[in-house]
Chain A
């Protein structure tokens, strides 16, 4: 077990090094912060001075080494654009993104599982067919379209929900939450639906196919033969087994939800990390972009490692093989 843990952590460290190298390398080509930061009338000397201040005049290798050594010390640098520590900027934005992702995940589970069960158990019902058809739309419509359509319907036409922002937030220590105010909750509805839609359809389809699979296996047939109630068979025996892959996928999807909340956050002006990243890209704010990519990389590595280790705990066969 310890060997497995060490091997996984070693792999994780390598992946992180690769991520940092890729993200750093990429920024050499996404643009020049000097052009974005200097004033319109800037003289050549002014621009050269700024380049020197930002350390962009040094060789790439030296810049990368400096970047790595600072990261290792936990120093993510200072944003070129608003001159505040990047770590603070990310910490400020983290609660907004996490709350959105949390609500979206709960929503997709709460709706996806029952709908999936419905489609598996009563495949011929009109409702089930309707759900199946609608789910195709959900999986194929781009997020920004869904977002705008929701805004036009619920904010502009019906005037029920706010079209942007987080509403009022309450500060609890370093955490700003929108879950405790009415306007905060209302503001969560549209973005979380937009973000959850893809995930929801994914879970629904997964539950459906897994459940159909499980229902045709031997132990279910024997359970039926024993005369157990359909309710007991479906929900206690079958669903439990069908949910195993759903848990894995949901875990992994949380990572991508955080990473790909960018579009939803942009459409709804949700002040989370995705919006921070988008702003940073348009101003070539390298420290912010680098820190964000590292964060997302770390998130995936941590989630994957955790899932691997959990598997090993749950399933002894994997433990032996590893």
Chain B
């Protein structure tokens, strides 16, 4: 008996010690794993967010998403196409090497290599030039207002390490080259990479020599990807995890009801909308004029959607309805643009009659079923609502793997798309990719034939406008035209929902990045 008591005491003491030692560890989980540790070999925002713990960019997003100095302390445009950056002194990489202008030049050169997957993230930069050890010039193709936005996602790697490991050039699938940078990461960031096991876990420890004053008190991060939603929630509830991001919407109520856990949620930047074909004819009505080219029909389709019902039933009250194409935190957003026509089925029917379709018409609606939150359910609801105003909607949903290639080829009559304006986090991304005709590097995701001369002009002007207020005014104006002509039907801002144990404070950001260097463990 006595011996058992001693044993129990020893065990509980050990448990106590281990909990205090582990107290500053954050164990968190997401549905996907990071694709690679090579920041320039991928374009996924999740991987980019994760790698931000290890790497620093020249400028970064701060606590309120503002752009602030990181490895660069100041910058100015010395010529319309040349920006000069003063670099931070005394910064060390995790391997002890000093950070200098050479590292910036080598990193930018590596990113601009034709084999770099992420090259498009810095597409307007031609080259980086070293001025002295702590000054660098970046030369752009022309005046380019979004350089800082782009740089916030460009991480600086160590030149000497890249030389030693033969990874000065990025991995390339075409030539079959894969580099050491895919499996190791040496940065200047707040955490050091300890181990990386794909699909099993990535561990990081705090970098005590970080150049910035830490606002976190974490000593260790254990990231464990869990693909299955049910398992991820179970692992949080069983105490094996401290944070799950994202948390599945259907489980939020259950997690929130447990006093040991909390749910944090806010609208994200990702805006879900419906695209409407502007081609001469629809797939569903071959040989006839495309009714969607008539503004009245588009108005009818918008007014025929009961957004509140979708918000309440399908999204369980977690989404935020919107009437414009960018989220409030994004430059280009204007409150005056963000108005809703309001659900009115009778009005919608009247509009259809006015447009010459008193008996409606046939329309295909295509949606992914594994890309956005409740994407399939939203489309099924929209199809039912449209059918109610007389538009016989044939809804088809499929996996994103087959959906997006078709969307890219413009094969749909109407379709669902989500846009978060990331990584630049600027309304220009909507204008240049979704609202302009596919030429001159514009219209990359607009195969549906929507064009408007005023938007074309404003987009081209905004692309080179360095005066920020003027540039924003142009974007606001262009987005107003897009709204007035109903280029797309905006639905809502998708929610970001995370769940964590009580005692862990992780601020949420609308770009859905988990930034643990702002986290506090109690």
Contacts and interface: CB of A to CB of B under 8 A. Distances in A.
Interface in A39-85: 39-47, 50, 52-55, 75, 77-85
A44 B424 CA distance: 18
Interface stretch (B61-69, B235-243, B496-504): B235-243
A53 B172 contact: yes
A77 B226 contact: no
Interface string A275-298: 110110111100000000000000
Given A40-B422, A163-B238, A31 B198 contact: no
Interface stretch (B14-22, B173-181, B333-341): B173-181
Nearest to B420: A40
Given A30-B402, A165-B200, A275-B199, A40 B433 contact: yes
A35 B405 contact: yes
Contacts of B188: none
A257 interface: no
A159 B227 contact: no
Interface string B284-320: 0000000000000000000000000000000000000
Q: By CB atoms of chain B within 10 A, which of A38, A40, A42, A52 has the most?
A: A40
A305 interface: no
Given A45-B441, A156-B234, A83 B173 contact: yes
Contacts of B35: 81-82
A39 B400 contact: no
Interface string A204-235: 00000000000000000000000000000000
Interface in A230-271: 266-269, 271
Contacts of B178: 78, 83-85
Contact of B43 (A39, A55, A144): A39
A41 B424 contact: yes
A36 interface: yes
Contacts of A36: 400-401, 404
A83 B231 contact: no
B173 A80 contact: yes
B424 A47 contact: no
Nearest to B201: A165
B33 interface: yes
B171 A43 contact: no
A166 B200 contact: yes
Contacts of A266: 227-228
A156 B260 CA distance: 13
B401 A281 contact: yes
A92 interface: yes
B118 interface: yes
A6 B242 CA distance: 58
A67 to B, nearest CB: 13
Given A31-B401, A41-B432, A269 B38 contact: no
B405 A164 contact: no
A278 B227 contact: yes
A117 interface: no
B444 A41 contact: yes
Contact of A34 (B402, B405, B443): B405
B438 interface: yes
A195 B155 CA distance: 43
A282 B257 CA distance: 33
B225 A47 contact: no
B12 interface: no
Q: By CB atoms of chain A within 10 A, which of B225, B231, B237 has the most?
A: B231
B299 to A, nearest CB: 28
Contacts of B522: none
A85 B36 CA distance: 12
B228 A267 contact: yes
A164 B120 contact: no
A54 B237 CA distance: 42
B230 interface: yes
A37 interface: yes
Interface in B209-232: 224-228, 230-232
B371 to A, nearest CB: 10
14 contacts: A34-B405, A35-B405, A35-B408, A37-B117, A42-B120, A42-B445, A44-B444, A54-B174, A82-B41, A83-B36, A151-B230, A156-B237, A156-B238, A267-B231
Interface of A: 29-32, 34-47, 50, 52-55, 75, 77-85, 89, 92-93, 144, 147-148, 151-152, 155-156, 159, 162-166, 169, 266-269, 271, 275-276, 278-279, 281-284
By Cβ-Cβ distance, the 3 closest A-B pairs, closest first, are A31-B401, A32-B405, A39-B43
Given A43-B433, A83-B173, 5 more contacts: A32-B408, A39-B118, A53-B172, A269-B228, A282-B401
